[in-house]
Amino acid sequence: MRVHSITVCPDRVDVLVRVEAERMMRTSLDEAIAGRALAVLPGLADHRCFNDAGRSFAEELADTEVPHLFEHVVLELMAEAGSPRSLKGETAWDFRRDGRGVFRVSLEYDDDLVCLGAIKSAGRLIRYILEGGEQPDVRAETLRLTEIRSWPLGSSS
């Protein structure tokens, strides 16, 4: 998954991402993905998901789009760094308009810089969740994001 653009809006950050390998499009490509995601970010188990099936995110995790997982990883990192857990995200796609594998992820924020930092950190976590290997230090990532919150340039909406 590759981030192509990030747009900071007054009420959200919009991220355009592309999943280049078809086999990497969904979390169901490997049954270990859900377990790694919940092990590295246990708070994902409590995420709500607004979908037609009425399933929780923990239920969705077994078979959902990788950018949808990315959305929830960003929101969880922000929450761990002090953002309200009430912030919402949305993952949408229109493959006819944008091309196969292009997704639009929108994320509400309380601090734009924390959101941007969480997007960067989420990229590293997604690689680990999808591929395994050495587990990233999530505590260090969230501490870094918490420090960003105190920067004088950070904004609140």
What are the b/e assignments for 1-37, b being 16+ CB within 10 Å? bebeebeeeeebbebbbebeeeebbbbeebeebbebb
CA distance 23 to 78: 28
For the segment 39-80, what is each residue's pLDDT rounded down to a tens digit? 999 999 999 888 777 788 988 999 999 999 999 999 999 999
Mean pLDDT taken over the chain: 92
CA distance 75 to 48: 11
Question: What pLDDT, on the 0 to 100 scale, is given for residue 153?
Answer: 57
Question: What pLDDT, on the 0 to 100 scale, is given for residue 142?
Answer: 96
Global confidence as pTM: 0.92
CA angle 148, 76, 21 (to 5 degrees): 105
Question: What pLDDT, on the 0 to 100 scale, is given for residue 55?
Answer: 83
Q: How many helices and strands in the chain, by DSSP H and E? A: 6, 4
Instruction: Give the closest residue to 70 by CA, choosing from 115, 122, 114, 17.
Output: 122
For the segment 107-148, what is each residue's pLDDT rounded down to a tens digit? 999 999 999 999 999 999 999 999 999 999 999 999 999 999
Would you state the structure tokens that stand for residue 65, as one six-digit string? 């789009």
Quick check: 82 and 16 in contact, CB under 8 A? no
CA distance 57 to 140: 25
- Enter the DSSP assignment of 136: P
Would you state the structure tokens that stand for residue 106, as one six-digit string? 């929108």
